[in-house]
Amino acid sequence: MKTGDKQINCIAFDCGNSSFRTMLGRFNGKSLFMEVVDQVSHDAIEINGLYYWDILKIFEGLKQGLKKANQVVDKIDSVGICTWGIDFGFLDKNGYLLANPLSYRNSIGEEVISSLSDQEKRWMFDQTGIQNNRINSIYQLEGIKRKMPGLFGIAERCLLIPDLLNYFFTGEICTEFSIASTTQILDVRSKNYSKGVMDRFGYADSLFPSLQKHGSVIGNIRKSIVEELHIPSCKVICVPSHDTACAVTAVPAEEENFIFISSGTWSLLGTELQEPNLDEMVYLRDYANEGGVLDSITLLRNLTGMHIFQQIKKELFIEGRKYTWDELIQIAENYQGKISYFDTNCYDLFNPTSMISAIMNLIKESDGTLGQVLASSFYSLAYMYRLAINQIEEITGNSYEHIYIVGGGSQNTLLNQLTANLTGKTVISGPTEATSYGNIGVQLMGQVDNFYLEDIREMVRQSESIKTVYPDPNRDISLIESEYLEFLKCL
C-alpha cells in the first residue's frame, strides 16, 4: 500500500450514548497513531415525559473538536462520522431542523410494536431481514405519528443521527447501508427501502435519503464553518456510520469466520456474513441482518451490555458513593455469596428509575448487597453471551474458537475472563477504539492505493496491543454447566 510518502491525517467523530469524541488518526502507511483530541459528556434530556438528544450541543462540540484537531496537525485530510443507530431528526421543506431528535429510550416504540400481531411481526422481518425491536426507527416513527401528528405532518425529510450531522457539516443529504438498516425499513437484500413497508405505513419515497457507497466523498465542510473556525476545508467521507458496523470493520481477526462482541452501552454479538440469512432459526432466535462495511452483513443479536453497569455507577454517584470502574469490578470479584441469575435483556432494565432496585427485584433479593448485584450482573451477562454464541453456531453451522471483544467494554477484565471461562473459548480483547479504527480505515480506502478490508484489520493488529484471555484450566466445568441451566430457567 502506498500513501505517497506522506502522513495521512483523518478525524473520526465517534458519538455514543454517554459522550461524543473527536479522534485524530495519523497513518504512516503501516500503522495508525490514534489520540483523543476532545471528549464531551452528554445524555438524553427528559422533558414532559419524553427523552431527547441535544443534537445542537453535539454538533457544536464536534465543530470545536475539528478546530482543536487542526491545531494538532497542519492538515486534516478527511472526516468521518459514526453514531449509535435508530434515532433521527426531521427537516422541513426548506431544510431546517424541526426539533431535537427523540431518544430510543422512550416507550413510544414499545406501544407500537405491542399492537402488532405475530403475523405482522413476521412479515416485517421477511420484508427487511431486521428483527423486530421496540427501539427500531420504524416503531419510533409510528409513535411520533400517534403522539405528535403535527410534527410528523410537516416533516419533509427524515435523517438518522449521523446523516443529520453530515448534513450540518456539508449541506448534503444522504445515508448509507449500515445506519439505514437500523430503521427496519430497508430491505438488506436489495439495499433499497422496502416498498411493502413504505406502502404499509404510508411513507413517501422522498422521506428517506438515498444510500451512498462507503469510501465515497459526501462533500466538503461548509464554507461558513471553515470561516467560523478559521480552519482549512476538508472532505467528509461516507463511512459505516452505525458505530457497530465501524467496530466490526476493525475486528483484528485473520480468519474468515469469527464471533464478535461490540461491547459498549449495548453488547452487539454476532458474526460477519456476505449475504443476509432470513432462515426460520434466525427469526426465532431474535437475530438481525444489519448492514456492515462494504455491503457485508453483520448477523447479530442486540444484548444489554455496559448499560447495566453505567446506570449502577451513575445511581451510586448520585447517592454520593463515588466508585471507579476498577473499584466496582473489585467489589464484584470479592463477593463470596450466592450468585443469582437474571435475563439481562429483560424490559425492566431498559430504562429503570433505579437499576439496582430493578436487578434486586429480578433476583428476588430485597436486601441484596452491592457485591451481589454486581457479581450476579457480570455472570448473567457472560451466560447471555454463551447462549447467543451457541445460537450463532447453530444458525451458521460453524464452530468458532475465538471471541473478539472490541470497544470500551473490552477493557473489563472480569467480564472477559468470565466469558472465556463460561464459554470455553479464547477471548481476544481490543481494540477499545474499534469504532474509530473502522471509521478511519474506511476513510483511508479512498486515499491509499490497494487498501482493502483485510488491510484495515492488519493496520489494527500493527497499531494496538491486542490481549488474549484463555479459559481458566482449573475452572469447574460441571458447576458451570449446572449454573448455565439455572440461568436458562430465568429467560
The CATH number assigned to the domain holding 64 equals 3.30.420.40
Report residue 367's pLDDT band, with 50, 70 and 90 as the boundaries.
confident
Q: Which of 437, 439, 435 is nearest to 79 (CA)?
A: 439
243 included as an active-site residue: yes
* pLDDT for res 122: 97
Question: Based on the domain organization, do 74 and 170 belong to the same domain?
Answer: yes
CA torsion sign for 361, 365, 367, 368 is negative
> Is it true that the peptide bond before 209 is cis, omega within 30 degrees of 0?
no
* pLDDT for res 368: 86
Distance of alpha carbon 453 from its chain centroid, rounded?
A: 20
Alpha-carbon gap, residue 370 to 291, rounded angstroms: 39
Last residue of one domain, picked from the residues 237, 263, 281: 237
Report residue 2's pLDDT band, with 50, 70 and 90 as the boundaries.
low
State mean pLDDT over 409-437: 97
* Residues in a beta bridge with 262: 268, 406
Interval 110-160: pLDDT, tens: 989 999 999 999 999 999 999 999 999 999 999 999 999 999 999 999 999
Question: Based on the domain organization, do 279 and 318 belong to the same domain?
Answer: yes
Would you say 269 and 261 are in contact if contact means Cβ atoms under 8 Å apart?
Answer: yes
Would you say 189 and 129 are in contact if contact means Cβ atoms under 8 Å apart?
Answer: yes
* pLDDT for res 49: 94
pLDDT at 3 over 70: no
* Mean confidence (pLDDT) of the chain: 96
| Catalytic, out of 14, 87, 163, 243 | 243
Domain count, the chain: 2
State mean pLDDT over 156-183: 98
Question: Based on the domain organization, do 64 and 189 belong to the same domain?
Answer: yes
* pLDDT for res 491: 93
Task: Show the domain range for 375.
Answer: 251-430+452-491
Last residue of one domain, picked from the residues 210, 237, 264: 237
Interval 256-309: pLDDT, tens: 999 999 999 899 999 999 999 999 999 999 999 999 999 999 999 999 999 999
Residue 277 CB neighbours (<10 A): 16
Q: Is residue 59 part of a domain?
A: yes
Interval 74-91: pLDDT, tens: 999 999 999 999 999 999
Alpha-carbon gap, residue 174 to 80, rounded angstroms: 14
pTM of the model: 0.93
pLDDT at 313 over 70: yes
Residue 330 CB neighbours (<10 A): 15
Question: Based on the domain organization, do 200 and 232 belong to the same domain?
Answer: yes
Q: Is residue 242 part of a domain?
A: no
Interval 18-63: pLDDT, tens: 899 999 999 999 999 999 999 999 999 999 999 999 999 999 999 9
Question: Based on the domain organization, do 189 and 319 belong to the same domain?
Answer: no
pLDDT at 4 over 90: no
Interval 383-420: pLDDT, tens: 999 999 999 999 999 999 999 999 999 999 999 999 99
Q: What percent of the chain has pLDDT over 70?
A: 99
Q: Is residue 136 part of a domain?
A: yes
